[in-house]
Every structure is written in C-alpha cells, then in structure tokens.
Amino acid sequence: MPTSNETPNRHDVIIIGAGIIGCAIALSMTRNGYKTLNVDALPAAGYGSTSSSAAVIRTYYSTRDGTAMALEGYHDWKNWQAYLETEDAGELAHFIETGTLVMKTASDNYQKHVLEHADALGIPYEHWSADRITQELPGYNLDCFAPAKTMDDDDFGMPTGGALQGGVFFPAGGYVDDPQIAARNLKDAAARLGAQFRFKTRIVKIPVENNRVTGVLTENGEHIPAPIVINVAGPHSGKVNALLEGETGLKIGHRPLRQEVVQIAPPQSLNYSREGLVVSDNDISVYVKPGGGGQLMIGSQNPACDPHLVEDPDDFAMDLTDRGLTYAYRYSQRVPELGVSQHPVGVAALYDATDDWLPIYDRTNVDGYYLAIGTSGNQFKNATVAGRLMTDLIGYCEAGNDHDATPLQFKLEHVPHTLNTATFSRKRELTKESSFSVLG
C-alpha cells in the first residue's frame, strides 16, 4: 500500500528511468494506489536502451523461475490491448507471433534443461529434424562450426565436424514490432491513472536521512521528496547507485556492456514459409529475428571470442564496428548466399548486464531504495511481470518484512508457479544454471 496520500503534490514513489521496465513499474504501482513520478534524463519514454532492444518474446530460459516469468510475460504481450486496459487500439505496439527456433547443440546439452522447464510449466514445443529446418529455411547449411570465432581467426568459416541434427520450435514466441512504442503504451496507460513523468531531468543526488531515502535532488537544485525511490536506469543504473548517500549491499556485479545488432537483407532463396522466424543458434553464437522492411537483425549470444566491452553510457560510439560485421559473417555460415556488406547498418547500444545475465529485482541496505537493474538484453519480454513483482516486493518490504532473510514468494497470475524472488537478489552467488549470455 502507498506510504502517503496526504497532498496532491507529494509522490509515494520516484522511479528513476522511463524505459520499458520503468514504465511497467509505474503502471503496476499506480494501479495499486501509489502516486508515482518517473524521472528520466532523456526526452521521452523508451528513448534509451529500450528503443534498441531486439524485443524478442520467448518462453525458454536457463532457470525455472526465468522460464516461468517469460511465460507469464508472453500472456501479457499476447493480450496487449487488454493489459493496457484501453479501448483505443490507436498507436499500439504489436506482438508478432512467429515462434522461436532453438538449435540443439552439444554446448547447451541439446536443450535438455530448457525442455525440462518447458515440460514442468506446460510450454508447448516441437522437435524439428534437420530436414524440417531446411524445409522451413531453404538453403540452410547445418554443418557444425563451434566454437564461434572472429573473422581474424584463420579457421573462421571452416566446419569443425558433424552437423546439427535438429532444433526445438516454440510456437509461443516472436517479437514486438516497436519497443519504444511499447514503452510509450505503458507510460500512457499509467498517466491515465494519474502517474506523472518528468523528462530531460538529471538527478545528481539521492539523499538519505536515518537510513531512508528522502527523494532525489535534480541538477537545478530541486529536491523532489518521496519515501521510496526505485533505480530502473538501465545502462545508467551504476551511475545512479553512486548518487545514493548510503550502501546498496550489492554483491553481484553489473555493468553497461556494448552490444551491436546488424541488419541485413536475406537472400530470396531463404524464402521463409512463415512471417519470419526467430532463431537462436549457439553453434555459431548468434540470434536472428525479422526486422523492419524485410531485413534480418543478427546479434551475438556472447561467446568467449566476443569479449565484454564496458562503455560509459554518457560517452560511447553508436556506429557499428567489426563486431557487428562478424555476426553477419557468422550467420553467413548458415546461409552461404547471404550478401554481407562491408559497411553494414544496424544498432549499437548498451546492455546493463549482471555477472550471470539475470536481473536484480530487490531492496537495498537503505530503506526505501529499490533496484530493478541488470535487466538489459533479456528482460524486455518480462517488463510487465517485473512491474507487478516490484510492486509486491515494495509492499512486502514497506510492511516491515525482512526480504533478505525471508524473500518474497511472488505468485504469477497466468502461470501456475510462484517465483522465489531470491533468484533476483542483489546478494546472490552466481547462478550456476545461467547461460551466462544474453539468453539468460
């Protein structure tokens, strides 16, 4: 429940960030009676890393809780207009349900653990043989090329023996056509209920008195009071934590990592028999999804040969480099007819990724200061669920419960599963089941 409803100008909660998750938290908390204010340095909702998201919706993760959360989010995207509670279809984001194909490879134990989670949660899937894959994706070369390499490796493009024997197709999956519009949809839904948003506003301090946050201080000297502050600042979340006059208690690390996604025209011979297809291929360590204008978008699954590049979120180049070109060439191992330009187009952005690539949804050592960070790369699909989880977690903590000692058990609405939110603790050890990649 809200901590205060005394005056019309007082906020119960300040949410730092107005990306997809920040806006989802605003909507959930506003629906639960909180007076929220999102503060963002950028000019509009979803303008930062959200706008560069591949916006893939899938129902497979390395952990049971991650899988259940993704399935829960899928139901919200499947019924997006109903979730927003709007009668005006207007300019809504659209979930394009293409299904997702995950190649079976030795490095991921041929999807054994992923399928165990799917079976436990009732997620539908199909085993596709090599023949079925080449039927759906004509011209596909299923030779094995692992481990993934960079273009300066003398063995780049050389098969390493054997061939992929098949994959797993998950029909409940696809992508959202415009991630920035999706964030704006959530922002507008929250605003209709009274949520407030302030853009082009930079925070310079998060003051604390008696171990509780008192709000935020902006660069023009304004103190905006609130007893609860949530850091949902994406790649800037580390910098935001540094503004806190206290300790977060973070044990697991997170940092803004450079990610590049290249866009390229598929050859006509590929001739999808469906409206595109999202493909995850750990043998060549790329994922592929349909993009705008009939393009393919190709990104990395973070193999060992692609070293992590930590960047300053306030000062990084947004032009593609040879990294993006390498991803295109890796995919050309599957599609030999793929024409790869030496001057590709695409997106360079930052992911706020934790050490195990799972998010942090948690309280901190300072009362009233909460974290929804380390989410970039694989939490877009879970934004609505994260909004509800953070609302319940904050209510649980503000009611006096010791979340560190007895973590919130969060019951999902659409999936018969209860999340142990210790999975997302700031104090956790590395999650051994993680893929340690963008796949989560």
Q: Which CATH number is 293's domain given?
A: 3.30.9.10
Q: How far apart are CA 424 and CA 374, in angstroms?
A: 10
Q: What is the pLDDT along the chain (440 residues), one digit of tens a residue?
A: 564 444 445 899 999 999 999 999 999 999 999 999 999 999 999 999 999 999 999 999 999 999 999 999 999 999 999 999 999 888 999 999 999 999 999 989 999 999 999 999 999 999 999 999 999 998 899 999 999 999 999 999 999 999 999 999 999 999 999 999 999 999 999 999 999 999 999 999 999 999 999 999 999 999 999 999 999 999 999 999 999 999 999 999 999 999 999 999 888 877 655 568 999 999 999 999 998 778 899 999 999 999 999 999 999 998 899 899 999 999 999 999 888 877 778 889 999 999 999 999 999 999 999 999 999 889 999 999 999 999 999 999 999 999 999 999 999 999 999 999 999 999 999 999 999 899 98
276 shares its domain with 343? yes
47 shares its domain with 109? no
Residue 77 lies in a domain: no
* Cβ count within 10 A of residue 344: 17
Helix (H), strand (E) counts: the chain:
9, 24
Q: Could you tell me the CA-to-CA distances from 77 to 159, 255, 380 in Å, in that order?
A: 39, 28, 11
If one counts the domains in the chain, the total is 2
Residue 91 burial class via C-beta count within 10 angstroms: exposed 0-12, middle 13-18, buried 19 and up = exposed
Q: How far apart are CA 23 and CA 362, in angstroms?
A: 17
259 shares its domain with 137? yes
379 shares its domain with 258? no
- State the pLDDT at residue 182: 98
267 shares its domain with 309? yes
Contact 268, 318 (CB under 8 A): no
Residue 227 lies in a domain: yes
Rg over alpha carbons for the chain, rounded to the nearest Å, is 22
Residue 271 lies in a domain: yes
- State the pLDDT at residue 376: 87
**CATH classification of the domain holding 61:** 3.50.50.60
Q: Residue 173: which of 299, 56, 21, 55 has the closest Cα?
A: 56
The single-letter DSSP state of residue 145 is: -
Residue 50 lies in a domain: yes
304 shares its domain with 363? no
- State the pLDDT at residue 181: 98
- State the pLDDT at residue 135: 93
Residue 1 lies in a domain: no
Contacts of 174 (CB under 8 A, 6+ apart): 56, 57, 95, 96, 97, 98, 99, 100, 278
- State the pLDDT at residue 5: 40
- State the pLDDT at residue 4: 45
Last residue of a domain, one of 332, 354, 376: 354
Residue 432 lies in a domain: no
Residue with tokens 């399928």: 115
* pTM for the model: 0.96
159 shares its domain with 111? yes
Q: Which domain holds residue 36?
A: 13-72+178-253+357-424
389 shares its domain with 295? no
64 shares its domain with 212? yes
Residue 341 lies in a domain: yes
258 shares its domain with 346? yes
